[in-house]
Structure 1
Amino acid sequence: MMQTKRTTIALGLAWALAAGSSQAAQAAECAGLMQPGLVADTVVSAARDVAAADGLPAYCEVEATNSSAPGSKIVTMTRLPMDWNGKLLAAGGGGFAGDTKLETVAPALKRGYATIGTNMGHAGTESLGMEWMITEKGKLNEVVLADFGERAAHVSAIVGKELIKAYYGRPQTQAYWQGCSTGGRQGMTESQRHPEDFDGIIAGAPVFSWVLYSQSIQRAQFFRNTPGALITKEQVPLIRDAVVTACDGLDGVKDGYLTNPLACSWDPAEIECKEGQAAGAQCLSKEQAGAVRKLYAGYVTPDGLTVSDPTMRGGEGDWTMRFVGIPPLPKGLNVHFGGVATAYLYKLDPEWDPLSFDPDTEMAELLRTKATQHMIPDNPDISPFVKRGGKMLLWHGFNDSGPSALQTLHYYKQMEAVVAPQIDTPVTDSVRYFLAPGVGHCGGGAGPDRFDMLTALENWVEKGEAPERIIASKKDSEMTRPLCPYPTIATYKGSGNTDDAANFDCAPMNPAE
């Protein structure tokens, strides 16, 4: 009888410790997580049970504020599902805001993940608002800068992991980060500065360079600082259609977008107005064509500093929002985004006019601004992350008109060169960069923009299966394509249904940049 009882207890304990049996292993009630001192320097302000609804499982939602640095108030929202898969997923922010919203982490919760999100150290919720960055004109809020720039992601990982251990009675088996744009920057920061926080990182379209802000301003200047150069929304489809007509077939498949825009050399002179024509929906003025040409060329200062990367041909579909302007953003998204960041972080003056920025004389100064140390994670040496077995998936929409896929590619090449001599295996065993042809900033565009990076990362970290191709699809379309690790790209085999990813190989880019 005693032996049977012991056997039953042992079996019950083993069952409770299994990854899919967290409900039995739960060490604390949800409300009990409000116990003072449970997490160092952290006050749990709310811990509530949320019933299963709308396809989501039942979970414990915990809101906690960490003040480990003087003046810092980093909020972490942790969601702990009753039916836990044993793993943690942290989600990044967007624009200038953090993200603690349920809808952001809902897909991961459905998969059984414990999830965390953070306010990035400030109460602002507007993606284009940065009023919290200065305490008064000319005075930077350095505590919030550090939180937003680098500290919040790290602190939220610590807080979330402690709550997981308290609630489930054991730590997570794997910890993953997933984010795009600002969230991509946070992921890069974690790999460089806190390599122990995560086992795997997905960093999409990362905003990790001052070039994003400078090029956002300069691209607006191309159109707005030369009289007559600003294109109209009626001319945007004219430009896009001309590009697609000229270059869509270069990859062997006419599908409405450019697989490799680097192979396209279309020039706006082809739609420049002839003598007697007036600029409009049928043609561009000389000044408009000149501005578009500058956009495609990018700009490097005489002393060799990149101000703006070349804008990829084929991504003109979002130029109305980014460059021409829409009612909420009359000067276009790019100048509003770059202008806000530069006004607050460089000029410390929210009233500063970004169209007055002089890249030839100010770019070097911009690079030296105090915000650089916190917000620009451009250190290519991530060898500590790689050596501890970390895996990173970098990805970028090839037609992103915000942060450039070329900037991310430049970083990837630098990282590969720096890390390779320090390890015994190829860097691609730990880090891979996926370009998403025809895709804009974190999605959208004419190309297939729906893909499951998280499953690819899981298989890589947990099973050792490095992603050779990731299948992408598009809403309301039968088209699927493989996303391929650089320096390869989806290439049609020459036969079979062109809407089927199975008929595409991952072959070297031509030209391979």
Structure 2
Amino acid sequence: MSSDWQRLGGLIGTLFMAQVAFAANNDNANCAALQPALAATAGVTLTETPQLMPAGDLPAFCRVRGQAAGKVGFEMRLPPRADWNGKFVLAGCGGFCGQLLPDKPGYSNSINEALKQGYAAMAHDSGHQAPTSDTDWARSGDDQAVALWAEAVLPTLATLSTEVIQAYYAQAPKRRYFSGCSNGGRLGLVAAQRYPELFDGIAAGGPILDLSGNAGVQGAWMIQQAWTPDGEPRFTPAHIDRLATHVREACDALDGLEDGLIATPERCHPDLSALRCTANTDSGCLSAEQLQQVAALYRGAHDGDTQLFPGLPPGSEHLWPFWITGRDGQPAWGRDASQGFLDIYRNVPAGQHVNPASIDVVAEAAAMAASPLAQRANATNVDLSGLRAAGTRLLIWHGWADPLILPQRTIRYFNDAAAENGGAEALADHARLFMVPGHGHCWEAPGLAPDLFDPLQALDAWVEQAEPPAQIVARDTLDPAAATATALLCPYPLRAIHDGHGPLDDAASYRCGE
């Protein structure tokens, strides 16, 4: 009898392996068949033959790489039919884009974490090839490239992705999502405002929704405070370290907890005079002029009592050397990106640069907002009635410690959108904002508190269950199972309130409240 069962078991195993081999061969054939299937698609050129990539660090997937609209470099990753969850996500891209980064890790303008969950996913370069802070391509007279970067890449790739999915799976996706951060967050808000019918859900993080205000007005203001007219940094890392320590000691406890985190930066107004150089202070002290410039960075661009753009949030100082003030003789990325916008605004030829010190921020603020690029790229329309009509969900998040894309501008947008769309309660059914204490810009540096979460996962749960997220639990590692600390994130204007006795690094010790 035992030998009969053994033979039966062997037969079942053989059949199973045959089915696996057949499925793999079928997936490989389906992948290769995309070459002729897409050959007739207008504006699409495949730059390599689609091929089934074997499982390794990632699940197996069909890789489709090419160009759309004759310009947009893209890579689409398609799980085998048996592993596909029936859904698609289009990633955003950061800065002025220009790079195809399908293997970018994490959750910011990335696709591999979605692929692991069974999504078909697409990464792209938005229609040009250049370093992410460079704007020479936008000053070359190529209007199509500018239009694609500003907004047209969304319908272009949404349409293409549907055609690829239909050809590979013989059915359309049941859900379509967009997920992006920084410029990707801006594209998310462009989608919410202009193309809400393209997606079932949109995740928009750290969005530079007011490009002309953030990169133009505040960008010129920031450069003028942090850099000399000759392009020399006004502050050393030692200055910034001293400042960061002073601000943290002054404002840590304002949220009721002494945990090394400034969770309520809007309440933080530190007295900077203690940092002033005297005969007995060390090299980390700041001169009277430097203190004035630091105060101006915190205040933001202004005209007398009129605020032109919000300033840098207290608690973000540890990130200033990378984004704002420079380090080791290198310009800061934020400085370079703002320079790129100012060059477009002043319409200087490619390869040339305007001196930011020559810009009168107060006099030119309105002109920057009215510039052609701002009219195309700014995503400041607070009318989200189209989002509501389409039934699309919008999840926005922003780091309270983001010195590059200023969080108060996102809050202002959200408040204005609530007023325009029937009030905060009505808007909450379709759009929610989560402010993340200690989080900088799009996870480009570790947060000062647990700040890692999967925005796509939170968004998908909202869409599928028709229940807005009442909270999000953030962790300190990419792998949820390996997290040793967690934090509770709350929908704005609520914040995490400690229960008075639980561990400070455990989300379960908090509730969302005012």
Query: Could you tell me how far 1:98 is from its partner in structure 2?
Result: 4.5
2:119 matches 1:113: yes
CA gap 1:447/1:364 in 2 versus in 1, 3 angstroms: same
Letter in 2 for 1:458: D
2:32 corresponds to: 31
1:48 corresponds to: 50
Query: Could you tell me how far 1:229 is from its partner in structure 2?
Result: 9.2
Query: Could you tell me how far 1:25 is from its partner in structure 2?
Result: 9.9
2:369 corresponds to: 367
Cα pair 1:25 1:169 within 8 Å, conserved: no
2:5 corresponds to: none
Give 3-state SS (helix, strand or coil) of 2:111's partner.
Answer: helix
1:290 corresponds to: 292
**223-232 or 144-153, larger mean C-alpha shift:** 223-232
Aligned identity (percent) is 31
Q: What aligned pairs does 1:427-466 form with structure 2 within 5 A after superposition? A: 427-443=427-443, 444=445, 445-466=447-468
Name the Cα RMSD after superposition. 2.5
Which of residues 491, 499, 502 in structure 2 aligns to 1:496?
502
Query: Could you tell me how far 1:66 is from its partner in structure 2?
Result: 2.8
Structure 2 CA distance for aligned equivalents of residues 267 and 226 of structure 1: 28
Give 3-state SS (helix, strand or coil) of 2:33's partner.
Answer: helix
Which of residues 239, 251, 258 in structure 2 aligns to 1:235?
239
Could you tell me which runs of 5 or more consecutive residues in structure 1 were left unpaired when the two chains were aligned: 1-21, 509-513
Query: Could you tell me how far 1:378 is from its partner in structure 2?
Result: 1.1
Letter in 1 for 2:127: G
2:90 corresponds to: 90
Query: Could you tell me how far 1:305 is from its partner in structure 2?
Result: 6.5
Query: Could you tell me how far 1:220 is from its partner in structure 2?
Result: 2.2
When normalised by structure 2's length, the TM-score is 0.86
When normalised by structure 1's length, the TM-score is 0.86
Give 3-state SS (helix, strand or coil) of 1:202's partner.
Answer: strand
Structure 1 CA distance for aligned equivalents of residues 403 and 500 of structure 2: 31
CA gap 1:388/1:229 in 2 versus in 1, 3 angstroms: closer
Q: What aligned pairs does 1:228-267 form with structure 2 within 5 A after superposition? A: 230-267=234-271
Give 3-state SS (helix, strand or coil) of 1:189's partner.
Answer: helix
Structure 1 CA distance for aligned equivalents of residues 329 and 340 of structure 2: 15
1:13 corresponds to: none
Cα pair 2:384 2:417 within 8 Å, conserved: yes
Query: Could you tell me how far 1:28 is from its partner in structure 2?
Result: 7.1
Q: What aligned pairs does 1:60-459 form with structure 2 within 5 A after superposition? A: 60-67=62-69, 73-82=71-80, 83-98=83-98, 100-103=100-103, 104-124=110-130, 126-135=131-140, 140-209=141-210, 210-213=212-215, 214-225=217-228, 230-274=234-278, 276-277=279-280, 280-281=283-284, 283-301=285-303, 304=306, 306=308, 308-327=309-328, 329-330=330-331, 332-349=332-349, 350-420=352-422, 426-443=426-443, 444=445, 445-459=447-461
Structure 1 CA distance for aligned equivalents of residues 228 and 47 of structure 2: 50
Give 3-state SS (helix, strand or coil) of 2:218's partner.
Answer: helix
Structure 2 CA distance for aligned equivalents of residues 37 and 196 of structure 1: 27
CA gap 1:391/1:400 in 2 versus in 1, 3 angstroms: same
Give 3-state SS (helix, strand or coil) of 2:208's partner.
Answer: coil
Structure 2 CA distance for aligned equivalents of residues 273 and 327 of structure 1: 23
CA gap 1:341/1:226 in 2 versus in 1, 3 angstroms: closer
Query: Could you tell me how far 1:301 is from its partner in structure 2?
Result: 2.7
Number of aligned residues: 472
Structure 2 CA distance for aligned equivalents of residues 472 and 51 of structure 1: 32
Query: Could you tell me how far 1:232 is from its partner in structure 2?
Result: 1.7
Deviations 1:128-159, CA, capped at 9 Å, x for gaps: 12221122xxxx43211101111112211110
Could you tell me which runs of 5 or more consecutive residues in structure 2 were left unpaired when the two chains were aligned: 1-22, 104-109
Cα pair 2:303 2:362 within 8 Å, conserved: yes
Query: Could you tell me how far 1:37 is from its partner in structure 2?
Result: 5.2
Structure 1 CA distance for aligned equivalents of residues 67 and 226 of structure 2: 44
